[in-house]
């Protein structure tokens, strides 16, 4: 883990947001070059990228609040902080000025003492979901593309090629932040996170560690799995499918399908709190719905293609 890459004027700069920003810059630059190549205004893509970034963070945070199992913690932080338990803190950390909590000696947990009705909105403290960002960013893209009269499905294909590039950087940011970790593993490439990391705290709750202040057991590096898988998807779409697509929008649909399958499989190896239903995580349920949607839209686009061919 490397929570901060460097300090600027005495303020630590989180590695998570640096890598997320790097992925955004790469994706937007590729999209702008693509727009210029096909004779469209690249400034539209830059504006689109900024809007999707903002809407994506908002959507990612909102889905986290409602789907990752922390909803009532955010409610209680606003109404009754004593009902919230901060696990993984020592007594000294709890009562320090950084947390200003009250120590529960019986349960050996820390409780906040101050109300915070805006805790749910503080995304910089952690807590973002990809599919929430995908939905929020897609909504912003649809609105702006309609407003600017930019070909929607052409732009969707561009997004299908560049979004997995951004994901490749984003998941490496997760590795440095210690989030999105995997289940214990004995594989040679398994990684161990330092004491007081999200992985060690989760394994302490699962009674796999005697203390959250011990290094975690080796776990699947699911962040690396997803980063590599996302970059592989980007390479396949850009180098192979792009020259063979049958209709505008096909690359985007292929991206949604391939990523949904990748994420569905990886969720079985993830071990962080993600919420779920019927034995499946929130991301697996959303992914299944997206796959069904892809199949329906693909059939519709093919039918329209056949209709135009017959009409000509």
| 295, pLDDT greater than 70 | yes
Q: What mean pLDDT is reported for the chain? A: 86
How far is 215 from 178, CA to CA, in rounded Å? 12
Q: Which residues contact 297 (CB under 8 A, 6 or more apart)?
A: 249, 253
In a domain, 89, yes or no: yes
In a domain, 109, yes or no: yes
CA torsion, points 38, 43, 45, 51, in degrees to nearest 10?
Answer: -170
pLDDT of residue 220: 96
In a domain, 99, yes or no: yes
In a domain, 108, yes or no: yes
Q: 27 and 165 in contact (C-beta within 8 Å)?
A: yes
> pLDDT tens, 19-35?
777 878 888 888 888 88
Strand partners, 281: 276
Q: Mean pLDDT across the stretch 96-107?
A: 86
Q: 230 and 259 in contact (C-beta within 8 Å)?
A: yes
Overall number of domains in the chain: 1
Choose the weakest-confidence range: 6-15, 24-33, 94-103, 191-200.
Answer: 6-15
pLDDT band at 288 (very low <50, low <70, confident <90, very high): very high
pLDDT band at 149 (very low <50, low <70, confident <90, very high): confident
> pLDDT tens, 165-189?
888 888 888 888 888 899 999 999 9
| 2, pLDDT greater than 70 | no
pLDDT of residue 109: 87
In a domain, 204, yes or no: no
Q: Which residues contact 48 (CB under 8 A, 6 or more apart)?
A: 31, 140, 141, 144, 145, 150, 155
pLDDT of residue 193: 93
**Number of helices (H) and strands (E), helices first, in the chain?**
10, 6
Its domain, for residue 106, covers: 69-123
Could you give the residue ranges of the DSSP H alpha helices within 38-151? 42-67, 71-79, 91-94, 130-148
In a domain, 275, yes or no: no
pLDDT band at 9 (very low <50, low <70, confident <90, very high): low
């Amino acid at each position: 883990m490397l929570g901060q890459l460097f300090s600027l004027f005495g303020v630590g700069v989180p590695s998570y947001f640096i890598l997320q920003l790097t992925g955004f810059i790469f994706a937007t630059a590729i999209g702008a070059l693509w727009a210029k190549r096909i004779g469209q205004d690249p400034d539209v893509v830059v504006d689109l990228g900024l809007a999707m970034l903002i809407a994506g963070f908002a959507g990612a945070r909102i889905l986290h609040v409602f789907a990752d199992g922390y909803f009532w913690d955010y409610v209680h932080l606003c109404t009754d902080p004593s009902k919230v338990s901060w696990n993984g803190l020592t007594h000294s950390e709890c009562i320090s000025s950084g947390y200003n909590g009250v120590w529960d000696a019986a349960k050996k947990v820390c409780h906040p003492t101050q109300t915070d009705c805006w805790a749910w909105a503080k995304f910089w403290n952690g807590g973002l979901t990809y599919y929430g960002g995908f939905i929020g960013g897609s909504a912003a893209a649809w609105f702006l593309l309609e407003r600017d009269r930019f070909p929607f499905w052409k732009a969707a294909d561009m997004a299908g090629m560049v979004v997995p590039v951004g994901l490749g950087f984003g998941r490496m940011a997760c590795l440095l932040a210690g989030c999105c970790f995997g289940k214990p593993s004995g594989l040679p490439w398994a990684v161990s996170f330092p004491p007081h990391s999200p992985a060690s705290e989760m394994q302490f709750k699962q009674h796999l560690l005697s203390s959250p202040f011990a290094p975690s057991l080796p776990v699947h590096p699911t962040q690396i799995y997803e980063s590599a898988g996302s970059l592989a998807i980007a390479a396949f779409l850009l180098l192979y499918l792009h020259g063979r697509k049958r209709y505008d929008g096909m690359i985007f649909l292929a991206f949604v399908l391939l990523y949904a399958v990748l994420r569905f499989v990886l969720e079985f190896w993830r071990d962080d709190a993600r919420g779920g239903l019927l034995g499946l995580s929130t991301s697996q349920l959303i992914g299944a719905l997206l796959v069904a949607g892809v199949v329906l839209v693909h059939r519709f686009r093919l039918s329209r293609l056949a209709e135009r061919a017959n009409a000509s």
